[in-house]
Structure 1
C-alpha cells in the first residue's frame, strides 16, 4: 500500500521520465487495486484521451493556477476543458493537475510569507450517538459490532459505519434515531440501512432512523454531505435542513447547509431531484445547482461544475471563481483553525485552484500567496488573511 507522499513522488518521477523499474512495478501494482487508480496512471503516462486535455488546462503560466480570474475568455476556455476532463474521472484528473503544477509553484514560492506553525489537515473522526443516548467515538478504534434495540446491526470502525436491517426487526412504537456528529478537522463515511452511502464533511451532523419505515426515507442534515442514494421509487429519499428539503429517488448529490454560510447549495451530480422551499418546488438536472440566498430568501438555479462540489469527498479541494472568504471558511473547518478573512477588500478577490486535502494548510497558503495579492499571518493563535500592499 502506497502512502500519499510515496505515490506523489512516483507519479512525479513517471511524468518526468525518471522512474526506475522498481518504482514502475509499484505503480502497476497500485493501479491494479482500483479502476480509478488505473485511470490516473494512464493519464500520467499519456495513454488516455484526457491526457492532452489536461495538458491544455495547465499549459498557461503556473502563477495563474491560483491567480484572480479576470479574463472572461480564459474562464470559458478552462470551463470547456475541465468539463471534458471531469467526465473521465474527477478524482484522478484533479490529483494529476496538482502533480503537473502545484509542486513547482510551491517550490518557487515556499519561502514567501511562510507561516511559522505547521497546520496539519483533518482526518477521519466522528461520534455516533445511539437512540439510548450512548455515544461511541469513531476514531482510533478497532472494528466493533453494536446491536440497537430494534435489532439493527451496526458495524463501526475508524473509517466508516454500516447499518444493516435484520430480516425480522422488532417493531418499535417510534423509529429509533441515531446521529453521527463530525467535528471540525474531521470527516466520516456511513452506509444507511437502505444501502444509501453518505460522506460527512467537517463540522456536520446527520440524524437518521436505524430502519426506514413508511412512505419516505427521511434524514436530517446540518453542515455538508455527499449522498449516493439507493434507488427505491416507492420510497423517496428526503433530506431535511433548517431552511429546505431535498427529495430524490436514486441520485448522487452534494448538499451544503452550514449555519455560518450565506447560502444553502444543493448540487446534483447524477439522477434527478427536487428542492422544496415552503410551498415552492425546484427541479434539478445533472450539472445544476439550487442556491438559497439567506439574505434575500431567494432560491435560484445555475449550471456548475457539479463534480467539483463533491470533490471534497474524494479528498480534493476545488475552487472556481470563489471568494477568498468562502475558501477560508472551508479551510477553517477542515484544518480546525480560526481564519480571519473579514477584510472588506477580500470579498472582491476570486480564486480558482485545486489541491489535495491531505496537504498541510501551509501549502495552500503558499499557493494563494503566490499570486502576489494575499498574505497569511499568525496572530494570537489564529490566521489573518490580508491583501498585500502594492
Structure 2
C-alpha cells in the first residue's frame, strides 16, 4: 500500500468512515514499519489521555498498546477487534486533533478537501511566504518579493544581489569604487520570512514581523548586527572578528556557530537557543555561556535563566516550514498564527487556560489550522483579517 492511500484510509478510519473490507486492508498495513509507526503514534496518544478512557495504570496502558499493535484484543475484552479498534480510533481522532497532530500526519490526504471547504470570509488570511523589504543607507526601499533576480542595488563598492533561490547576498564590486561603510535593514512583515547571506558569508533566516540591521561590509575587530523579532543564524567562522547580535540591551557574542534568537516584544522573554558551537550572552552585569542544546531566557524584568532541556526542533520549526507546539498556551499558539497569517487576534470574555502540542505545516490554510483548534473546543470566528477567540 502506498503512503497516500494509507494516509487516506487512516484518516477515514479515525473518523469511523471505513467499510469492513477497507478496515481489513488497513489492518494489513501493520506489517509495514513506517505505517506501523503512525499507528503507534495514534494509539499511544490515545492511551495517554486518561480523561478519555480512564486507563491510569502504566502497565495496563502498555498491555493495551501491545495488544492493539499485535492485532488482537486486550485481555478481558469480549468485543470484536474491529469494533474495539474503531472505538479507540474515534477517541484517538479527538486527541490527535487537540494536539494538532492530525494535520501533520494526514495533510496530504486531506489537502484537497480543506481547500474546497475554505469559507469566503477566511480568504483574506493566507499562509506567509518569502516577503521582505530592504531599506538602503539612503532610505530608499526595495520590495524583495517582487524584485527580479540579479543586482538590485549598488552602495559604494558593494552590490546587493537577489539570487535565483530568492535569498539576498552582498558582493564587493570589482570595479574598486570607493565609499564608506553604510547600513542596511532587512524587514519582514507579518506573514513574511526571508533569508540573507551577510557580507561575511554568514547565513540568516528572518522570521515574520522581524528586522535585521547590518553593515554592507564588516571591518574592524567585530561584526555586529541588530535584531528585532526572530532569526536563525549560521555564522561564518572568523576568530579574529567575533560576531555579535544586539537585541535591545542584550548581546549574543560568537565566533562561528548556529543559534536562534527570539525577541518579539509581545513574548514574555528573549530566548537564545544554541544548536552548534558556543555563545556568550551578556546583559548588564549578567553573563551566560551556552552549550549546544541549551537556551538562555531573559525576562522582561531583566533576569536571565538557563534552560538545558530545550527542544531545538521546536525552536527552529519555523525555519523548516512548520509550527511545533509543546505544552504551548492558547495565547502562545495564536501569537504565532497571527504573525504568520498576518492576522489580528482578539479575545472575547474569559478564555479557559489550556495547552497544545504537536506539529502542523505552515503552508496549511488558516481554516485548516483553526478547525483543528476548534475540535479541541476552541471557539472562534474570522472577520476579514481578524481572528476572534470566544468562550
Q: What is the aligned partner in structure 2 of residue 350 from structure 1?
A: 355
Question: Aligned residue pairs: how many?
Answer: 323
Q: 1:240 to 1:63 in 2, by over 3 A?
A: farther
Q: Residue by residue, what CA displacement relative to the aligned partner does 1:291-334 show, whole Å, maximum 9, x if unpaired?
A: 1111x321111121012111111111101001110111111111
Partners of 2:122 and 2:219 in 1: CA distance: 50
State how 1:17-96 maps to structure 2 within 5 Å.
Answer: 56-61=40-45
Secondary structure of 1:233 counterpart: coil
State how 1:222-233 maps to structure 2 within 5 Å.
Answer: 222-233=228-239
Secondary structure of 2:266 counterpart: coil
Q: 1:211 to 1:107 in 2, by over 3 A?
A: closer
2:305 equivalent to 1:300:
yes
Q: What is the aligned partner in structure 2 of residue 269 from structure 1?
A: 275
State how 1:59-208 maps to structure 2 within 5 Å.
Answer: 59-61=43-45, 98=103, 100-101=105-106, 116-118=121-123, 119-146=125-152, 148-156=154-162, 159-166=166-173, 172-173=179-180, 175-208=181-214
1:375 to 375, 379, 383: 379
1:252 to 248, 252, 258: 258
Tell which structure's C-alpha radius of gyration is larger: 2
2:357 equivalent to 1:365:
no
Higher mean C-alpha displacement, 98-107 vs 225-234: 98-107
Is the CA contact (8 Å cut-off) linking 1:11 and 1:99 kept in structure 2? no
Partners of 1:144 and 1:112 in 2: CA distance: 40
Unpaired runs of at least 5, structure 2: 10-30, 59-99
Q: What is the aligned partner in structure 2 of residue 39 from structure 1?
A: none
CA RMSD of aligned residues (A): 3.9
Unpaired runs of at least 5, structure 1: 1-9, 18-44, 75-94
Cα offset, 1:105, TM superposition: 9.0
Give the TM-score normalised by structure 2.
0.71
Q: What is the aligned partner in structure 2 of residue 37 from structure 1?
A: none
Higher mean C-alpha displacement, 214-223 vs 241-250: 241-250
Q: What is the aligned partner in structure 2 of residue 89 from structure 1?
A: none
Is the CA contact (8 Å cut-off) linking 1:129 and 1:135 kept in structure 2? yes
Q: Residue by residue, what CA displacement relative to the aligned partner does 1:189-229 show, whole Å, maximum 9, x if unpaired?
A: 11011111111111111000111111111000101111111
Secondary structure of 2:184 counterpart: strand
Higher mean C-alpha displacement, 227-236 vs 159-168: 159-168
Is the CA contact (8 Å cut-off) linking 2:126 and 2:341 kept in structure 1? yes
